[in-house]
Homo-oligomer: A and B are copies of this chain.
């Protein structure tokens, strides 16, 4: 009888070509499946809540997989942590109902994006250095426009394989956290590069190079070419998945 295990994992995306397994490059999924093979002697395919891109981090990624192993849950956590490279850690492991899918059962995902205004050496892998002054209250105003259900095609990488672009954003806000500006957004689903394109566009509002009505017009246009640039990956973290 196969068990279904749910793991919460954390990883530093700096040295990974993203989550998804691909030939000849280092990915988080490949490292996870390699460690699971070593532990269980089974060829295991894992499913993640969010397939993060190259350079993107996670503190609350959730994955699941089926296994015939009888190892207790806490042993899975400790044994995997001894086998995995240091830039991936298993935070928790728990057996769940066989119907559970880390990807399809997820009700919401939360991402954070960090921006720093001063040049730093320590933690430079975890934030976007942006040297210009930003008007935080205008960026906060723009969040009110984002919240709720909208078609986010303007904030989706061209060529993404999706049926539709509708996302329900339940929360979006900016705040100061130590030396960083922190953007936090929760939605039922995210399109490819959506958070990074949103940040690249919100920063243009913060620089006062576009207005709030122009931002509204960008949403309405449903056209990637009118939105701002894609912010770099290292500021982005998948922080929480709710089921």
Chain A residues packing against B (C-beta within 8 Å)? 10-12, 57, 59, 81, 86-89, 119-124, 126, 237
Assembly of this chain: how many copies? 2
* Shortest Cβ gap from A22 to chain B (Å): 20
Q: Is the CB of A89 within 8 A of B120?
A: yes
By secondary structure, the A interface counts as: mixed
The answer to whether B89 and A10 have CB atoms under 8 Å apart is no
A126-B123 in contact (CB<8A): yes
Please name all residues of chain B whose beta carbon is closer than 8 Å to the beta carbon of A12 when the two chains form the complex. 121-122, 124
Name the B residues within 8 Å of A89 (CB-CB). Answer: 119-121
A101 to B163, CA, bound (A): 66
Task: Give the most central of A10, A11, A59, A122: most B CB within 10 Å.
Answer: A122
**A121: chain B residues within 8 A (beta carbon):** 10-12, 86-89
Pick 16 A–B contacts, CB within 8 A, sort by A: A10-B120, A10-B121, A10-B122, A11-B121, A12-B124, A57-B122, A81-B119, A86-B121, A86-B124, A87-B121, A88-B121, A89-B119, A89-B121, A122-B126, A122-B237, A123-B123
A13 and B162 alpha carbons, distance in the complex (Å) = 44
Closest to A84 in B: B121
- Closest Cβ of chain B to A218, distance in Å, is 32
CB nearest neighbor in B for A9: B121
A123 to B81, CA, bound (A): 16
Q: How far is the CA of A86 from the CA of B81 in the complex (A)?
A: 30
* Inter-chain contacts of A124 with B (CB < 8 A): 12, 86-87
12 further A-B contacts with Cβ under 8 Å, apart from A12-B122, A89-B121, are A10-B120, A10-B122, A11-B122, A12-B121, A57-B122, A81-B119, A86-B121, A87-B124, A88-B121, A89-B119, A122-B237, A123-B126
